[in-house]
Copies of this chain bind each other. A is one copy, B any other.
Amino acid sequence: MATLVDIAVSAAINLLSALIFLLAFAILRIQPFNDRVYFPKWYLKGLRSKALKMPEPELIDHAGLDSAVYLRIYLMGLKIFVPIAFLAWAVLVPVNYTNDTLKIAQLVSNVTASDIDKLSISNVPLKSQRFWTHIVMAYAFTFWTCRVLLKEYEKVASMRLQFLSAEGRRPDQFTVLVRNVPPDPDESVSELVEHFFLVNHPHHYLTHQNGHLFVLSLVYCVNIYCWGDLWEMVLDIKDTSYFLDELSVATHPSVSSFRLNSKGLGKGLVMEEAKCGSHMVVCNANKLASLVKKKKSKKNWRDYYQLKYDRNPLQRPLKKTGFLGLWGEKVDVIDHHTSEIEKLSEEIEEERERVLKDPKSIMPAAFVSFKTRWGAAVCAQTQQSRNPTLWLTEWAPEPRDVYWENLSIPYMSLSVRRLIIVVAFFFLTIFFMIPIASVQALASIEGIEKRAPFLKPVIEIKFIKSVIQGFLPGIALKLFLIFLPTILMIMSKFEGFLSISSLERRSATRYYIFLIINVFFGSILTGAAFEQLNSFIKQSANEIPKTIGVAVPLKATFFITYIMVDGWAGIAGEVLMLKPLILYHLKNIFLVKTEKDREEAMDPGSLGFNTGEPRIQLYFLLGLVYATVTPILLPFIIIFFAFAYVVFRHQIINVYNQEYESGAAFWPDVHGRVITALVISQLALLGLMSTKEAAQSAPFLIALPVLTIWFHRFCQGRHKSAFVKYPLQEAMMKDTLERARDPNFNLKPYLQDAYIHPVFKGGDDDDEDDDLSKKLESDSVLVPTKRQSRKNTPAPSRISKASSPSLSEVVKDGDP
């Protein structure tokens, strides 16, 4: 048991290490050659400003709503825990401290108890009336947490709606992703999609404006035409100008072919006009992507030799064509690469044509655009066809957020994949220790000696022996934990999510479950997950909270240390960015051949929602669990949240590059996890109380989880739809406003190329990039250390189509 002094020493050490990190950061960041590590965002955005002085709206402009709301999680931590800490210290600490239980226990049975335990609930004697205080406090803490959660949910929901409605025109506002287009023997996916939406969303589907009504009426006509015995009826009403009889349809100049609707409403007429409807089918472009990659590498080499030649124009670089340039004919490298690039370009063009034309490479999915946001909102929220597994519609993610590989998974396969992943994740979480333990056994001295006896003399050397003993067993676990987020991400990808943001959200959920089971419960109950599971199965439902409740106060010291090591020092390590720093300089020395390589060596990273958020949630869990039990833990949590807030604010403003903008779609998850933590804390307290023989007071705690879960459902009903649906009122408002502002805007060309698989624009962009980077290089030669020089980089177009703040705004606040 650690005493207060121990904790203080540990805190001092950790604070010191944090300070050292910060100091190192302070020194390293002012070195210009580290700029690309510590201020990559300014290179990407082409502007500069100071951290920590940005008001929230500007932060949203600068780094996106996702990042701004992500910071609010830390703020929420402070909002929850600062008042709770004050209350706990003012009420619970005196109540706990003014008992003699531990002192007596020490005297009687020689039990060692630290000062920390004297401040905790362990110091209150059995059957004491003082437990009422803890129960009242539990209610107060729950009430306060829920209040903050509700306010934050409200605030974030309104921020999201505000953000969505304040945004400029964006392709995803008009676009719906359609999946599981049913196969059809007669029509291509493209035609099928076109006809389906012409028929079922006639007023809203975006087509050429001229001939629109005409197309419609034809579709109606044909649909009725094929309605069995209704043919006469259609002929009867041909006198209304909207309906044309068979003859005039067949001879009309704009009709290229004419077919009866033999298999339902999804089809109609194939018309010249109708063909230009705005939707993009999704192609399977894996081969194309590999060709593009190859071309890029060749280009890079050519640039390198070109640069070499430019510096030393006397000697044209030569190279053998064989393996690794070791044999074969000697050729002029620059010419050789140029010709190869040309060859590849042709191949790519061919492949591109093939992909676009070959019906087999077209996946049964499409991005369908509508004339109005209202039309898109309607289509995204409704069911299209009888069969709910066909013609699935949902909001299209941002173009850069689309995860292209998953767009064509059929429904049945999706649900099988989900089952597989659920089972796999269960085993991963519960039994992950088993393979690691066996690897550890192999990696031990005995294991190695048994398997590879010839290594025995080497191993027996004392230094190597100690390395193996101290290092190898640990490294297996460490490696697993490092790769865990990647494993979880692969799981989510396999499960078939359609956007990077949803992949990350799902991975975050899984990571959180893993942390709760293996870190929180694992530390409290000190046993691997499958051992816990085994003992839980054998224990009664009554006993489980008791087991946890009893163990919680005993582990307070451990978790305080954990917060300091993982939280404080970890955050300080984050700001130092040691790994990107080293990697960047290594790359710079060995790999960087051209300016473009340098751009690529720069690794701004991103927020990493899938790992970062679950870790924060662990602190929420610790704070809530220990608030009533060992309030001394709370200040450590508060310091963590405050410190992390400052650091991540800096990182978001100066370092991280936003990969996508989901509009804070992750908030319901964040909210749900804090609620989970709250319920766990209540159950643990309930268990603890029932072992304290506080039979009178304990039952009053049963209502807490019920009320908390009800509160959660209430919040979800009240606010979740803001993160899932898009109200028609908003859509209509924006449409109306836009029509008034810009009545002649032609949406069609605007949306035409929005959702194209990256490889289809890759090639051209590449060339541009090349040109750009060359152009920029000369710039940077002139003023190499001034980041402001990047102001004229047209780079923003590479990062996002979202509105970046206008220069004047940023400059205004730039230098205070």
Chain A residues with a Cβ under 8 A of chain B: 161, 196, 199-203, 220, 223-224, 227, 230, 233-234, 237, 240, 265-266, 377-378, 381-386, 388-389, 391, 411, 415, 418-419, 423, 536-543, 706-707, 710, 713-714, 717-722, 725-730, 732-733, 736-737, 739-741, 743
Contacts of A234 in B (CB 8 A): 740
Least CB distance from A122 to B in Å reads 26
Contacts of A220 in B (CB 8 A): 736, 739-740
Contacts of A386 in B (CB 8 A): 161, 722, 727, 729-730
Is B382 within 8 A of A381, CB to CB? Answer: yes
Known A385-B727, A718-B388; contact A233-B540, beta-carbon cutoff 8 A = no
Contacts of A240 in B (CB 8 A): 743
Contacts of A382 in B (CB 8 A): 377-378, 381-382, 725, 727-728
Q: Which residue of B lies closest to A161 (CB)?
A: B386
Is B733 within 8 A of A265, CB to CB? Answer: yes
Is B161 within 8 A of A736, CB to CB? Answer: no
Of B266, B418, B718, B728, which is within 8 A of A383 by CB? Answer: B728
Is A203 within 8 A of B203, CB to CB? Answer: yes
Known A389-B718, A536-B541, A722-B388; contact A227-B728, beta-carbon cutoff 8 A = no
Bound CA–CA A389/B154 (angstroms): 13
Given A378-B382, A388-B717, A540-B543, 13 more A-B residue pairs with CB atoms under 8 Å apart are A224-B740, A227-B737, A230-B737, A265-B729, A381-B381, A382-B382, A384-B729, A386-B729, A388-B720, A388-B722, A415-B714, A418-B710, A541-B541
Q: Which residue of B lies closest to A220 (CB)?
A: B736
Least CB distance from A565 to B in Å reads 35
Bound CA–CA A539/B730 (angstroms): 54
Is B741 within 8 A of A383, CB to CB? Answer: no
Bound CA–CA A406/B381 (angstroms): 27
Q: Which residue of B lies closest to A729 (CB)?
A: B385
Known A223-B736, A240-B743, A542-B537; contact A384-B728, beta-carbon cutoff 8 A = yes
Bound CA–CA A122/B275 (angstroms): 71
Of B161, B203, B423, which is within 8 A of A706 by CB? Answer: B423
Is B721 within 8 A of A265, CB to CB? Answer: no
Least CB distance from A238 to B in Å reads 11
Is A200 within 8 A of B388, CB to CB? Answer: no
Is B384 within 8 A of A383, CB to CB? Answer: no
Bound CA–CA A384/B721 (angstroms): 11
Least CB distance from A686 to B in Å reads 12
Q: List 25 A-B contacts (CB under 8 A).
A: A203-B203, A220-B736, A220-B739, A220-B740, A224-B740, A230-B737, A233-B740, A237-B740, A237-B743, A265-B732, A378-B378, A378-B382, A382-B725, A382-B728, A383-B721, A383-B725, A388-B719, A389-B717, A415-B713, A419-B706, A537-B541, A537-B542, A539-B541, A540-B541, A540-B543
Q: How many copies, total? A: 2
Q: Which residue of B lies closest to A377 (CB)?
A: B382
Least CB distance from A384 to B in Å reads 5
Is B230 within 8 A of A200, CB to CB? Answer: no
Is A388 within 8 A of B721, CB to CB? Answer: yes
Bound CA–CA A201/B542 (angstroms): 55
Least CB distance from A143 to B in Å reads 16
Bound CA–CA A36/B719 (angstroms): 54
Q: Which residue of B lies closest to A715 (CB)?
A: B415
Known A265-B729, A378-B378, A539-B540; contact A717-B383, beta-carbon cutoff 8 A = no
Least CB distance from A722 to B in Å reads 7
Contacts of A728 in B (CB 8 A): 200-201, 382-384
Q: Which residue of B lies closest to A533 (CB)?
A: B541
User: Which 6 pairs from chain A and chain B are nearest by CB?
Assistant: A388-B721, A383-B725, A381-B382, A224-B740, A537-B542, A419-B710
Q: Which residue of B lies closest to A743 (CB)?
A: B237
Of B223, B541, B721, B741, which is within 8 A of A233 by CB? Answer: B741
Bound CA–CA A220/B391 (angstroms): 33
Bound CA–CA A381/B728 (angstroms): 11
Contacts of A388 in B (CB 8 A): 717-722, 725, 727
Contacts of A718 in B (CB 8 A): 388-389, 411
Is A224 within 8 A of B389, CB to CB? Answer: no
Least CB distance from A740 to B in Å reads 5
Q: Which residue of B lies closest to A380 (CB)?
A: B382
Contacts of A706 in B (CB 8 A): 419, 423
Least CB distance from A413 to B in Å reads 12
Of B161, B233, B540, which is within 8 A of A537 by CB? Answer: B540
Contacts of A537 in B (CB 8 A): 540-542
Is A224 within 8 A of B381, CB to CB? Answer: no
Least CB distance from A310 to B in Å reads 55
Bound CA–CA A240/B713 (angstroms): 49
Bound CA–CA A382/B730 (angstroms): 12
Of B199, B381, B726, which is within 8 A of A732 by CB? Answer: B199
Of B200, B377, B536, which is within 8 A of A729 by CB? Answer: B200
